[in-house]
């Protein structure tokens, strides 16, 4: 996609190009994390320390008492139409609507695979 955008003079919104190399502090922290074995996708429902931090943030900023073990789910995707959207819809929308949407997506996927 990047090559096509460069060739045609288009703006590539599918890939970011940072203006700088990044903070040395962040780079060093990433190196430490990688050497500590944190180099894979996190387990679901998320790393306990992150879930604890999210619950503490919700309590501190919004006064919400959220149990980090049963009330926080961390997903990993950069896709705006990914699992987080489906979870929110399932929790707050009519369940049959979400299930109908899932069945329709499966049909679309199956049709494309043929």
- Structural domain including 104 reads 77-114
CB atoms within 10 A of CB 72: 19
Quickly state the pLDDT bin for 108 (edges 50, 70, 90).
low
Residue 85 inside a domain? The answer is yes
pLDDT score, position 82: 63
Residue 14 inside a domain? The answer is no
Residue 24 inside a domain? The answer is no
How many angstroms separate the CA atoms of 42 and 8, rounded? 38
Residue 17 inside a domain? The answer is no
Quickly state the pLDDT bin for 20 (edges 50, 70, 90).
confident
How many angstroms separate the CA atoms of 50 and 48, rounded? 5
Domain count across the chain = 1
- pTM for the model stands at 0.49
Residue 84 inside a domain? The answer is yes
């Amino acid at each position: 996609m990047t090559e096509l955008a460069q060739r045609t003079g288009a703006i590539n919104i599918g890939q970011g190009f940072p203006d700088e190399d990044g903070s040395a502090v962040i780079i060093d922290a990433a190196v430490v994390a990688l050497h500590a074995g944190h180099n894979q996708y996190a387990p679901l429902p998320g790393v306990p320390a992150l879930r604890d931090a999210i619950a503490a943030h919700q309590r501190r900023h919004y006064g919400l008492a959220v149990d980090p073990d049963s009330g926080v789910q961390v997903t990993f995707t950069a896709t705006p139409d990914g699992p987080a959207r489906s979870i929110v819809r399932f929790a707050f929308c009519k369940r049959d609507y979400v299930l109908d949407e899932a069945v329709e997506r499966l049909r679309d996927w199956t049709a494309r695979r043929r």
